[in-house]
Amino acid sequence: MKPILYLLIASFFLSGFSFQLMSQSLTYEGSSGVGKGKHIVFIASDHEYRGEETCPAIARILAKRHGFKCTVLFGLDNDGYIKPGSSKIPGMEALGKADMMFLFLRFLAPDDVTMKPFTDYLDRGGPVLGLRTTTHGFNGLKGKNSKYNYNSRDKSYDWGFGRQVIGETWRPREGAGHYGSNHKFSTRMFVVPEQTDHPVVRGVTDMHAMAGAYSAVPIEGSVILGKNQVLDSMKPDGKPLANKPPSPCIWVREYESKSGKKGRVFASTQGASEDIVSEGVRRVIINGVFWCMGLEKSIKADMSVDFVGPYKPTTFSFGGGRKKVKPSDLAGFESQLLPETKR
């Protein structure tokens, strides 16, 4: 009887461990489309702009509408609930076989074990998409990873991951910082005239974002696709402020990896959860995913970017967002993003 008892006990603990892993990660499996067989890993952990809502919403569209496998990782608290801005991000090993990395980060300082799959991914030159505060994704990293901090002045990696990979960091004195006041001035984005034929902006019109504009001076070699206008209200028909000339808000570039391979990058200074209510904003982000993965020939001006399942974003703020939500609460294509879970 003892061997059987030991097996039952072991099975119980293993099943509990397996359930814990499942509850800490979220995967949407596509069934057909240009993305079939390709895996995108999303990492969502920012303190303010509700990346934990943006990322699963975009992931669902890419999976259901276009066939990609999309895994979404979140910053969590010690009880496994989503905690925006947390540096505890289980499941990073998924990057080992990922075809693309999609980021919405802000001022994180993960431990070395958590960072290793991330830095390994960069070392092999995988494509990267970064939204909003991902320009200043890391702060407080120590030792060998300190060069990735947003304010790093490492001579070989000046201004850290943000500048060296995404193409910009947070450096207000140099022209990269807040530009339009949040909750007072919304943002209109437009395609620059010289890039209207670029595949990333194919079919893109009427981009309006609720989050206030950032200013940016993308690193040399970046191709600026879009610029912003700071509006005098929170409405799409607001008037541009005369004292705020347009600043780059959408660009693409390539970074050179440790392996020597060049990885494609799409960046936008917008992308908050309420920003993607605008079809134009969603479309340019999804087009950006396709371009990063070398699928630009498959970008169609009328391809579907409709939400999948109910999407009810919360207004961005520090300490905001819905509480007591676990990644597993977002499973499937019909669960609400994010649910008002009461536990």
pLDDT digits (tens, 9 = 90+) for 137-178: 999 999 999 999 999 999 999 999 999 999 999 999 999 999
For the stretch 223-260, what's the b/e string if a residue is b when 16 or more beta carbons lie within 10 angstroms of its beta carbon?
bbbbbbbbbeeeeeebeeeeebebbbbbbbbbbebeee
Q: What is the pLDDT along the chain (343 residues), one digit of tens a residue?
A: 455 544 444 444 434 434 444 557 799 999 999 999 999 999 999 999 999 999 999 999 999 999 999 999 999 999 999 999 999 999 999 999 999 999 999 999 999 999 999 999 999 999 999 999 999 999 999 999 999 999 999 999 999 999 999 999 999 999 999 999 999 999 999 999 999 999 999 999 999 999 999 999 999 999 999 999 999 999 999 999 999 999 999 999 999 999 999 999 999 999 999 999 999 999 999 999 999 999 999 999 999 999 999 999 999 999 888 999 999 999 999 999 998 865 5
- The CATH architecture annotation of domain 27-330 reads 3-Layer(aba) Sandwich (3.40)
Give the count of beta carbons closer than 10 Å to the beta carbon of residue 27: 17
Closest C-alpha to 73, from 122, 138, 117: 117
User: What does the pLDDT look like over 312-322, one tens digit per residue?
Assistant: 999 999 988 89
320 backbone dihedrals φ, ψ, rounded to 5°: -85, -160
- Residue 289 in tokens: 């995913």
